Structure 1
């Protein structure tokens, strides 16, 4: 099998979410590439230094063109220059508009169907129309959770046999987690600043917490995404500017240190297709308070303290429970063991099987 892959999401400086998904898969495919299973990774720009090294059976093809790349430049390259590809893998929703070989596409979440107002109009247009043609064109669809599978079948009228659930992997950080026992306790949110992450509810809940426990602070870790200005306005209106810290994007080592020393990780999102920060907190043996929404209950199972994502009082009450009681050692230990079933090696192997089968169509 000679597989082509859209690797652009991984070829960025600051990796988050889907970027890590693609990057970790490329690392695995680079390790296992062989005469029988070779890979060509298609990029708009030359690979960054941190991308997996090329080898005889794993190499990059740079196809210039920023606008309409997947719609025009990539399809032309596949038809003219790379006719030896047996199957094409699009790991982030958007497949080539035209492709001479079977396509496999990964869907990470379908939040845009349920919360369309939480997206910029230009992004929503792409998500709605480009994802639809990608799914309809695909020989097989991969989803990262049963929740996303259910939504994909409902929204795209897919046959069950043409869709496979393959969860994200998790790789423990190659560093020692340092527990500093900071004198200023804090809750932490990790993720991009965007509307469906529901930071408004978190901020109102934290305002209640800070009024009752003045020592506590809130750290919001993640880069600015879109439609986030109101978040800063809420912080000011609630007079929380001195106790809510926006760190922006941080490197992996700093992120894990922040999580490891938190009272709890907060995941209040209205819809998550998977919820990778949950596994990061599990590994760090830190409690997780999450919205009972999307795939979070599926991934977190009974290891998580759940709250109503549209009720800030319920959320603050769950935070109080963790502060005052904190007797969840058994739950934390079970959560730590749960992480072990999620590996990128397993994810890559299962995706490889799907790709292999699709290449025979």
Structure 2
């Protein structure tokens, strides 16, 4: 039996949850390609998502613990009781499970400790150490850049790691409308969408600095408005976000996000480091130009199709806003390299290799 860690189903869908959600849907579609019964376990205390619509994979509520304890105790016990293997596409891999597949999106809390709490960095290192030492756990990741970083820190994974690139077709699932512009009081193709959370490495700081100087430009920031405490931690004035050209949406659903992206002049992704950059792929699929930080992962994956800037240089971002480029043909060619169809076929290939080599 394959038990999928379904904790992500009870969370807001961002990058890692999106990958997990789409792989789950594809595993359900390609159910016959797996020689094992497949179930997805979710915490018993939460309401089961209504829009999942799985045809073959059973959804099983288990355990009443919260957070990480649910994964490491409730989920682990369920896997062990059923002599199963665990597939975890988002979040942690259960510490007491020694067989399965773990999608490791990045090791940033281990690489860049200064951007994360000490407790979180230690926790992530414990998880990846466990995975690296358990010889029957196979690791998936999202780019050559991330793979190389993982192997620098955990070389024992060399024979047990494979790249499964994300897809983008989920953006076609929604009826996108320019009515979203009316809702937020902006004009079509005359505003910038900013995809950056309040986490320091997402680098919202540089966009807010530019917005305070470029008052003729409108910036729609997908996410929560930062508190005064957060602003001070970013060395910004409290009144920085009280300008008319800055709009915070707070959490909005996928249809709202993708509609804003579709009718934007460009999308800005200012991260200091990333493993892949799914929002870039999503934006390109909606034929929206992207301005992205010049970091290794983005240069590897999107070198010919985005406008780059130095994520530590305000003038560089200003220059990128003025010299925006977008080649529709190059964007289409890039999109052809990625799909959820290819992702599930890569996962099935890994599964068959594991079967052949008696990983489980």
> What band does the TM-score fall into relative to the shorter chain?
0.7 to 0.9
Q: Show the counterpart of 2:158.
A: 160
Count residues in correspondence. Answer: 343
Give matches, 1:50-65, under 5 Å.
Answer: 50-53=51-54, 55=56, 58-64=57-63, 65=65
Q: CA deviation at 1:231?
A: 7.7
CA distance in 1, matches of 2:121, 2:223: 22
Corresponding residue SS for 1:104: strand
SS of the residue 2:125 aligns to: helix
Residue of structure 2 equivalent to 1:142? 140
Q: 2:25 aligns with which of 24, 27, 33?
A: 27
Partner of 2:329: 333
CA distance in 2 between counterparts of 1:43 and 1:176 reads 29
Q: Which residue of 2 aligns with 1:314?
A: 316
Note closer, same or farther for the CA distance 1:238–1:154 as it changes in structure 2 (3 Å cut): same
Aligned to 1:111: 108
Which shifted more, 256-265 or 217-226? 217-226
SS of structure 2 residue aligned to 1:341:
coil
1:253 and 2:255 matched: yes
Point out where structure 1 has 5 or more consecutive residues left out of the alignment.
Answer: 323-327
Residue 28 of structure 1 deviates from its aligned partner by 0.8
Shift of 1:334: 1.6
Partners of 1:152 and 1:225 lie apart in 2 by 32
Change (3 A) 1:183 1:23: closer
What are the Cα deviations for residues 249-280 of structure 1, in whole angstroms up to 9, with x where unaligned? 11112111211221211011011111111012
1:192 and 2:187 correspond = no
Q: Distance in 1 between matches of 2:90 and 2:212?
A: 37
Q: Is the 8 A contact 1:168 1:347 kept in 2?
A: yes
Give the direction of change, closer, same or farther, for the CA distance of 1:350–1:321 in structure 2 (3 Å limit): same
Corresponding residue for 2:352?
356
Distance, in Å, in 2 between the alignment partners of 1:148 and 1:232 is 27
* CA distance in 2 between partners of 1:275 and 1:176 (Å): 23
State the shift of 1:232 in Å.
Answer: 8.7
Whole-Å Cα distance in 2 between the matches of residues 222 and 168 of structure 1?
22
Tell me whether 200-209 or 225-234 shows the greater mean CA deviation: 225-234
The equivalent residue for 1:90 is 88
* TM-aligned CA deviation for residue 130 of structure 1: 2.0
What is the TM-score of this pair, normalised by structure 2?
Answer: 0.86
Task: Give the drift of 1:224.
Answer: 7.0
Contact 2:211–2:246 (Cα < 8 Å) also in 1: no
1:276 equivalent in alignment to 2:278: yes
Q: Which moved more, 1:173-182 or 1:188-197?
A: 173-182
Post-superposition offset of 1:110 = 1.8
Equivalent residue in structure 2 for 1:299, among 291, 298, 301: 301
Give the RMSD, CA atoms, in angstroms. 2.6
SS in 2 for 1:158: helix
Distance (whole Å) between structure 2 residues aligned to residue 238 and residue 134 of structure 1: 43
Residue deviations 1:190-247 (CA, integer Å, cap 9, x gap): 243211101111222333332xxx2x11111025799844489836444752211110
Q: How much does 1:61 deviate?
A: 2.6
CA–CA separation in structure 1 for the residues paired with 2:158 and 2:284: 31
2: CA distance, partners of 1:166 / 1:29 = 14
Tell me if the contact between 1:235 and 1:244 (Cα under 8 Å) persists in the aligned partners.
no
* Greater displacement, 248-257 / 349-358: 349-358
Quick check: 2:189–2:264 contact (8 Å CA) kept in 1?
no
- Give yes or no for contact 1:292–1:306 (8 Å, CA) kept in 2: yes
Query: Match of 1:5?
Result: 4
Q: TM-score, normalised by structure 1?
A: 0.86
- Which residue does 1:16 correspond to in 2? 14
Distance 1:257 1:25 in 2: 23
Residues in 1 aligned to 2:354 and 2:13: alpha-carbon distance in whole angstroms: 29
